[in-house]
Amino acid sequence: MKIIDGKGLAEKIKLELKSEVEQIRAENGNIPHLAAVLIGDSPASASYVRNKVRFCEGAGFESTLIKKDESITESELLEIIQDLNENDDINGFIVQLPLPDHIDEHKVTMAIDPKKDVDGFHPTNIGKMVQGLDSFLPATPYGIMTMLERYGIETSGKHCVVVGRSNIVGTPMSILLSRKSNPGNCTVTLTHSRTKDIGEETRRADILIAAIGIPNFVCAGMVKEGAVIIDVGINRVEDDTRKRGYRLVGDVDYDDVSKKASFMTPVPGGVGPMTVTALMMNTLKAAKLKTS
């Protein structure tokens, strides 16, 4: 079994982005600039945003963090988004999800200028993606597509089973892998909580993508010998042996499934770093579009 080292690949791409940034800077003095809006004090969200800011520094991007208390009103947040839309210094921005219950996530997503929507969640970008037009791809699926491409994993004609149909991972993943492209050209089955027999579907997968949010959901009995396993899940499970009292596990039982897989992503160090990388690739693209 070969480990798909998302962390290592992210470091490699970071250097590639850095050299592109240096070139752009030398040509016209511009530096790609990403802003992140973080609401509340969820440790998981804070950690995701920290990783994004850190990656920016490593790749030579500028970054701005806008941190607001959980008590912010929806209209105050929409005003911040409007300011970011109009700020010429910012090439792209994200609003870290989830948001507090009193804020409508859909309204927030809709308020972001699609030209600055580097998370790729706006319906304009999703619609373009569905039609195979140039757009900002949703960061996690884009990161996974990049991993498949860079590891030279054949996807054409393969059967891909996606578990989980969220708007940000499962559904866009199923669309990207079924597109006429490379990677792509898969026959895709999209499964979810109402699927009758998940195991029956997953056992037919040449490529299995798990994005559910249930620790160790996928076991070896659900996997075909030689399958490629992409584990998107990031779940905190209690662990008294760790200083912080928990450890991160995926949606796939790594020890069990790795005995059957041909390629597999670890958690942590697999899809997570590639999501951040994809966000930066989108930000560089936004910066280039602005100057072209």
Question: Applying CB under 6 A, which residues contact ligand NAD?
Answer: 140, 163-166, 168-170, 191-193, 195, 198, 211-214, 232-235, 271-272, 275
What's the min distance (Å) between Cβ of 152 and ligand NAD?
22
Residue 18: CB atoms within 10 A of its CB come to 15
Q: What is the DSSP string of the chain?
A: -EE--HHHHHHHHHHHHHHHHHHHHHHHS---EEEEEEES--HHHHHHHHHHHHHHHHHT-EEEEEEE-TT--HHHHHHHHHHHHH-TT-SEEEEPSPPPTTS-HHHHHHHS-GGGBTT--SHHHHHHHHTT-S-PPPHHHHHHHHHHHHTT---TT-EEEEE---TTTHHHHHHHHHSSSSS---EEEEE-TT-S-HHHHHTT-SEEEE-S--TT-B-GGGS-TT-EEEE---EEEE-TTSTTSEEEE-SB-HHHHTTT-SEE--SSSSHHHHHHHHHHHHHHHHHHHHH-
Tokens of 2: 């070969």
The residues that are catalytic are: 52, 96, 119
Bridge partners, residue 236, by sequence: 248
The answer, yes or no, to whether the previous bond of 141 is cis (omega within 30 of 0) is no
CA distances from 279 to 7, 71, 91, 97, 138 (A): 15, 27, 12, 14, 8
Dihedral of alpha carbons 211, 214, 216, 221, sign: negative
What's the min distance (Å) between Cβ of 253 and ligand NAD?
14
